[in-house]
Amino acid sequence: MSINKIKAVFLDRDGIINKDIGYLHKIKDFIFLEWVFASCRHFQKYGYKIVIITNQSGIARGYYSENDLINLNKWMLKKFSNENIQILDVFHCPHMPESNCSCRKPKPGMLTIACKKYDIDMSKSWMIGDKESDIIAANSAGIHNTILIKNDTSQEELRSNAKFILKSIKECIQIIGI
């Protein structure tokens, strides 16, 4: 194991960074969720790199193009940069749920690619998502520090493999880096 490995906080996009409106691809529809910037600055303060991983089946469905997503990502990354937050990378899966690709969560492909590309220590990293598929992908990639964000009480909470179940990303500040 390399002593130079980095630690990361992996964030799902829709429902964690921005309001999940379904197949978001237009800048005018992008609404950052409260506390996302403050939380990311907190993670950085404690030495975590931030990586976004997101399923984007709207591309395969023909709702928007890969270029639409690239343009939205550039805009989003600029907003983070304006808030003194460096996003290490954004990984996306453009495939349909039934495509059987290795990158679509709950499979760990995006996480394992990020791990190899940036020499990430998965045992010291975190995954924050709003669906059990985020938690399953993280666990499969060797990340056991997982947080499921659920702002409603649901049966999914009772069956979740997440280490923590919280109501918002703001609450992650009390867990990560302390």
Kindly state whether residue 2 falls inside one of the protein's structural domains: no
The label of the residue with tokens 């990020």 reads 114
109: CATH: 3.40.50.1000
Kindly state whether residue 29 falls inside one of the protein's structural domains: yes
Q: What is the Cα–Cα distance from 36 to 23, expressed in whole angstroms?
A: 20
Q: What is the Cα–Cα distance from 144 to 100, expressed in whole angstroms?
A: 24
Which residues have a Cβ under 8 Å from the Cβ of 9 and sit 6 or more positions away?
40, 43, 48, 49, 50, 51, 125, 126, 127, 128, 176
Query: pLDDT tens across 78-136, in order?
Result: 999 999 999 999 999 999 999 999 999 999 999 999 999 999 999 999 999 999 999 99
Q: What was the pLDDT predicted at 158?
A: 62
Has residue 68 got a pLDDT over 60? yes
Kindly state whether residue 146 falls inside one of the protein's structural domains: yes
Work out the pLDDT band at 177, boundaries 50, 70, 90: confident
Counting the structural domains of the chain, the total is 1
Q: What is the Cα–Cα distance from 128 to 40, expressed in whole angstroms?
A: 11
Q: What was the pLDDT predicted at 7?
A: 98
| pTM, rounded to two decimals | 0.95
Domain that holds residue 142: 7-174
Q: What was the pLDDT predicted at 152?
A: 65
Residue from 119, 110, 48, 117 nearest 85 by CA: 48
Q: What is the mean pLDDT of residues 145-171?
A: 83
Kindly state whether residue 119 falls inside one of the protein's structural domains: yes
